[in-house]
Chain A
């Protein structure tokens, strides 16, 4: 947004915090949106696939956003993000076994996710914070650990939770939208918007952004940087939990449920430029829709090739824009 804002003459103080969207990227995104809209109006199948893709993409987006939150704060990619989400989903499952309603379990699981994120940051990440590679290896260890613990407690076989949105299908003209897809889309978008509001309009959000971007300066003006980082990990885990709970209705509960989602979330986050929350959301939605449409219309793109295709797109985008769609080139002093 910065370049655009500068050109239009209302660049403000958040200039350095903002993301760098260039005009060509905006044009391409608008063109893609128009293409999807026209396609949806012309063909009911296209419309259905687009909505299903958006729902899928919203899940990628929320996990990608979790990755971006942590990356911005600690310059580290959290490999355990998906497994943490999976663990909180299992926690929600356990609650429903104890006869809690789905939505009570949902919100308790989000709380649990927050606590998990905070504990992980304080106990495991903080001691090795100064070394990026050590943090990465710790998250890899955590990945295996959570996987082992969950499999040990609940077993590796499929589990089923009550359906959060029911199985109804809405008909608009000749287009059928499943309630599941729409519900997923709404829940993830609401959680992303709430998070954005938190970061943009509250004092806590401001402190967290300060702690992430300029830790030393933030500490000087009285921000408790370590506490903010811990809260950041907690919030990321909440987003992850939303992604996990929304993934459950389609792939059901199993220890490996989030692994593929995590990979797509990586792709989405990098596509948007790892630094940019808006980029992660756009990247996630775009990836979801793209994969669904490719799967529908291109015969060669069978399910085995979904991942390679996602990453091929990622590679092509990165070759043109090495810092992602919304990322900015980092300038380094010699």
Chain B
């Protein structure tokens, strides 16, 4: 265990060093992109806690992002709260909504749960349209102040680092064990003394809270503008794609998944053959399908396979 722990800490430190040094090399636009990676990192991490570790599929995490995002905008727009202070608030409020959704979700499993959460993702942006005086309607609503690229970069990656540590600490201890036992077999988990309703709802709450923070950073990344369109169904699907590319039940894969969904639309925007904005969709779709055909278990599965290759088999497997 200790060797694995050392490797994990080393990886974390290297990643942290890269993140700290990166802004010295990047211009404003690319800082924004890098911040986007951090934002999706947080959201996919949250989804992975729920889906990868607890086995509860959610296609509704875009809705929790919307809740976090609108929390930030409303606090800043109506009450001129400091943007930094709105982040923990988004965490708490999204946690609350996660618990609220998690309680009825106790009765569902598998594909029914997926569709109920999907329904949630579809419904939430509609409320922004319905209650347009408070939530801005289809044109959206903006924060009182819009942060710069560097601010966004620093705050996003700090949040990503902190939340990664939180996720790691939660998952490696008693709670994480309970989560994984629920994923592997609910009946066996109950038999071993895991109280299903508490842990499932807790997983929903934590996961939603992560998505909430990601959502408020997501809004800040678009000049502080929150629009119902931005939080449409597609965002939830994107997060699911990110989690699948990352590989469920792995913390390290999440970074790859986040890079994938954050950068792919930008990278594929200027495709030579098809051109225009639609080329982006075509390439995104093709690559998502291609990745799934080649790596059905995601990046984490690839790592796992590499680790068990004869040449690379090391003592760490014992750990």
Contacts and interface: CB of A to CB of B under 8 A. Distances in A.
B238 to A, nearest CB: 9
B114 A145 contact: no
Given A314-B119, A322-B107, A140 B279 contact: no
Contacts of A138: 288-289, 292-293
A267 interface: yes
Interface stretch (B6-14, B124-132, B310-318): B124-132
Nearest to A80: B285
B116 interface: yes
B168 interface: no
A146 B297 CA distance: 24
Interface string B155-181: 000000000000000000000000000
Interface stretch (B77-85, B91-99, B199-207, B240-248): B240-248
Given A137-B241, A137-B292, A266-B118, A318 B112 contact: yes
Nearest to A324: B112
B176 to A, nearest CB: 21
Contact of B288 (A133, A144, A305, A315): A144
Contacts of B139: none
A148 B107 CA distance: 37
A3 interface: no
Interface string B95-121: 000000000100110011011101110
A152 interface: yes
Contact of B119 (A128, A134, A151, A267): A267
A124 B293 CA distance: 8
B284 interface: yes
A315 B285 contact: no
Given A79-B237, A134-B244, A311-B122, A145 B296 contact: no
A319 B114 contact: no
B289 A71 contact: no
Contacts of A131: 296-297
A84 interface: no
A307 B122 CA distance: 7
A304 interface: yes
Given A145-B282, A151-B281, A152-B279, A128 B292 contact: yes
Given A318-B116, A319-B104, A75 B111 contact: yes
Interface in A3-61: none
A263 interface: yes
A246 to B, nearest CB: 22
A270 B293 contact: no
A86 interface: no
Nearest to A302: B130
Given A140-B241, A307-B122, A148 B285 contact: yes
B122 to A, nearest CB: 5
Nearest to B288: A141
A302 B132 CA distance: 13
Given A124-B289, A127-B293, A133-B244, A149 B107 contact: no
Among A71, A141, A323, chain B packs the most CB atoms within 10 A around the CB of A141
A152 B282 contact: yes
Chain B interface extent, by class = 35 or more
Contact of B115 (A140, A143, A148, A266): A266
Contacts of A79: 237
Interface of A: prevailing SS: helix
B308 interface: no
Contacts of B116: 270, 314-315, 318
A259 B237 CA distance: 13
Nearest to B124: A308
A183 to B, nearest CB: 29
Contacts of B276: 152
A323 B248 CA distance: 26
A308 B131 CA distance: 13
B112 A141 contact: no
A252 to B, nearest CB: 19
Contacts of B293: 124, 127-128, 138
A19 to B, nearest CB: 16
A124 B276 CA distance: 26
A69 interface: no
B305 to A, nearest CB: 15
A66 to B, nearest CB: 15
Nearest to A130: B296
Contact of A322 (B108, B237, B240, B281): B108
Interface string A250-284: 00000000010001001100100010000000000
Contacts of B281: 144-145, 147-148, 151
B303 interface: no
Nearest to B187: A334
Interface in B281-305: 281-289, 292-293, 296-297
Nearest to A314: B119
Among B120, B233, B293, chain A packs the most CB atoms within 10 A around the CB of B293
Contacts of B108: 318, 322
Nearest to B234: A144
A134 B292 contact: yes
B123 interface: yes
Among A147, A149, A308, chain B packs the most CB atoms within 10 A around the CB of A308
Given A77-B114, A318-B108, A145 B289 contact: yes
B274 interface: yes
Given A128-B293, A137-B288, A138-B293, 10 more contacts: A75-B111, A128-B292, A145-B289, A148-B278, A149-B282, A274-B112, A304-B130, A311-B120, A318-B112, A318-B116
17 contacts: A71-B111, A130-B296, A133-B57, A148-B280, A148-B285, A149-B282, A151-B278, A152-B282, A263-B119, A270-B112, A274-B111, A305-B126, A307-B122, A308-B127, A312-B123, A314-B119, A319-B104
